[in-house]
Structure 1
Amino acid sequence: MSTIRPYRPADRDALYDICIRTGDSGRDATALYSDPRILPDIFTGPYLELDPALAFVLADAADRPVGYIIGTADTPRFVSAYRRDWLPKVADRYPEGSGTGRDAERIRELHHPEWMLQDGLADYPAHLHIDLLPEAQGRGAGRALMDTYLAALRAAGVPRVHLGMGAANTAARAFYDRLGFHEIARPAPSLVLMGRGTAVT
């Protein structure tokens, strides 16, 4: 039996591991990077540090994290805080301009968080990331995590939220479609931006 609870600092390493193990469109991305920690240092760590109140953990019967949902209520504010408060803590590990292939692409993202400020998102100020280990999928836990996150956004007065997903991730697209998300834009062939209101539907 799984439960959803607020994030605790002791969960950090487990959430980093989940990010890596689901970082290739739901598959394990560990072997794709010379330092796979780059993924959670972009897509997990900053949210846990800058917006911990919007971090929720799916835990198994032993209270071991097997999934999470994280994000921010205000993407422009988050990008500013990322550059000011998060980037200095991790930049030395990944020098700007270093790496090749996928590593280089991720290092560019790390050093230039403004990529989160895509056109067409002004009406969708919040954004999120959700990841579940395979063992936690297909049981309604993803929907429950999303409901928890949307409720937190509603309580904060946030009307709409967006997310980015790989265009090739058909399973994720089907999941988001079922949850009422719709496509907003495709800023790149491999990236789909989806959004929805935070109201209960």
Structure 2
Amino acid sequence: MFVRPYEPFDRQDVYDICVRTGDGGGDARGLYSDDELLPDVYAGSYLHLEPELAFVLDDGDRAVGYVLGTADTRAWAAACRRHWLPLVSPRYRLVEPPVTAEDHLVDTLHHPERNVLDELDEYPAHLHIDLLPGHQGAGHGRELMRTFLAALAERDVPGVHLGVAARNTGALRFYERLGFHRITGDEHGTTLGRRTDVPV
């Protein structure tokens, strides 16, 4: 088991991991009309726009976990609008106002600018990290996070943030153990932040 940089042949594994952990940490296969919706929202743009900031956990056969993200959320939102949405948005009809859970997810895809918040300026990067259930709890998530934070530090990025669904209490405890602290939140979820110059 080892962490390595993402390669284009990992894309389907990353998409699979995203779906199988996409329901508050549980399996989201079949929840939406298209199983690629979740990874198109939470993984695809990063692989397309900043593949150098994507890393996978390899079990010797395939990727079983990943961490990916952006060094600059504002720049990512603009690039997503220009270069990612034209590729995927025609597949997902925007419903305004959104009603169903799928409508809200599609709405998130169509509005990357909503990730840009003034209160997160000290934490310009953001990330997504997921591991298949059978590979959780063995220190692999910590190693993925350490790798990603080191890549940000090399780019002189001062801080990173991430979002956690309120019901994903296991993930929240994991991030807190890694030094993340609460920035904002409500009954739906919490945004956590961390400086990159603090060791994991």
Q: TM class, shorter-chain normalised?
A: over 0.9
CA distance in 1, matches of 2:6, 2:141: 16
Q: Which is further off, 96-105 or 150-159? A: 96-105
The equivalent residue for 2:102 is 103
TM-score, length-scaled by structure 2: 0.96
CA distance in 1, matches of 2:149, 2:169: 23
State the 4+ residue runs in structure 1 displaced beyond 3 angstroms. Answer: none
The equivalent residue for 2:134 is 135
The equivalent residue for 2:164 is 165
* Partner SS for 2:30: helix
Equivalent residue for 2:86, pick from 69, 78, 88 = 88
Equivalences for residues 18-167 of structure 1 within 5 A: 18-62=17-61, 64-97=62-95, 101-167=100-166
Gaps of 5+ in 1: none
CA distance in 2, matches of 1:34, 1:96: 14
Q: Is the 8 A contact 1:47 1:70 kept in 2?
A: yes
Q: What does the per-residue CA deviation read over 1:92-145, in whole Å, with 9 as the maximum and x for residues that have no partner?
A: 100222885111011111111112113410110000000000111111000000
TM-score, length-scaled by structure 1: 0.95
Q: Is the 8 A contact 1:32 1:102 kept in 2?
A: no
The equivalent residue for 2:3 is 4
CA distance in 1, matches of 2:166, 2:194: 18
- AA matched with 1:60: D
How many positions carry a matched residue from both structures?
Answer: 198
CA distance in 1, matches of 2:99, 2:15: 22
- AA matched with 1:79: A
* Seq. identity, %: 53
